Amino acid sequence: MNFRHDILPLKNIVFRTALRIVLNREEAEDIVQDTLVKLWERREKLDKVENLEAFALTMARNLALDWKEKMDNQHVSFDDEAHDRLDENTNSADKMLAQKETTGAIARIINSLPEKQRTIIQLRDIEGKTYQEIANTLSISESDVKVTLFRARQAMKEKILQKKSFFL
């Protein structure tokens, strides 16, 4: 097990997945750091792990959910704050990426979904993972993945059609 070759390459997928949960770039970056260091500390036990990427994503998601829970317990209005920050993030990111206001709107639609739905959208539609890999990462059944993805895509479709003129 070599850190630079085996663990470090996971950084960006771990980052994007954590970011989709915490909706805060700084926190997502801290989670990536924690996840990769923990993986490295456990490197001797990682030979038994079938899918290192899914394992890393599960760890990162758990850290992200812990952070979110902590924020909720501190009575920080997570959604409002997250949305403010999110607008900043998506605006700057989108100017770079697609230079379109409408993609920013899509980001907001996805990020307003419940955590499980947006994480599944992230893993399926952005990272291109199979249902099996997603089920493995989230420790749920494949049919649960499909049902949740279905709800998420339906919600996205509905919101896009509501604002159809905006997206045209």
Partner 1 sequence: MDYKYIEQLIESYFACTTTLQEEQILRSFFSQEDVPAHLAQYASLFNYETAAKEDVLSEDFDERIMSQIETAETKAEEAKKPRIIKLAARSLAERRFLGISPQVFTPFFKAAAVVAIALTIGRAAEHAIGEQEAEEKSNVVAVDPYIKTNDVQQAIRVKDVSQAEMKATNDSIINIATKDEIQ
What are the residues binding partner 1 (CB under 8 A)? 3-4, 8, 11-12, 15-16, 19, 29, 32-33, 36-37, 40-41, 93-94, 97-98, 100, 102-103, 105-107, 110, 122, 124-128, 130, 146, 149-150, 153-154, 156-157, 160-161, 164, 167-168
Which is closer to partner 1, CB of 74 or CB of 168? 168
Given the structure tokens 């993972």, which residue do they identify? 129
- AA letter at 17: T
User: Within 10 Å of residue 32's Cβ, how many Cβ atoms?
Assistant: 23
| Count of all residues that appear for the chain in the document | 168
* Integer Cα distance of 122 and 128 in angstroms: 8
Dihedral-angle region of residue 23 (phi above 0 means left; psi in -120 to 50 means alpha; beta otherwise): left
Q: What is the DSSP letter of 9?
A: G
Collect all residues with Cβ–Cβ distance below 8 Å to 1 and sequence separation of at least 6.
7, 40, 43, 44, 46, 47
Are 158 and 151 within 8 A, CB to CB? no
Which is closer to partner 1, CB of 19 or CB of 55? 19
Q: From the CB of 79, what's the least distance to partner 1, in Å?
A: 20
Q: From the CB of 158, what's the least distance to partner 1, in Å?
A: 10
Q: From the CB of 48, what's the least distance to partner 1, in Å?
A: 21
Which is closer to partner 1, CB of 130 or CB of 139? 130
Q: From the CB of 63, what's the least distance to partner 1, in Å?
A: 15
Which is closer to partner 1, CB of 72 or CB of 149? 149
Which is closer to partner 1, CB of 61 or CB of 152? 152
Q: From the CB of 75, what's the least distance to partner 1, in Å?
A: 30
User: Within 10 Å of residue 2's Cβ, how many Cβ atoms?
Assistant: 9
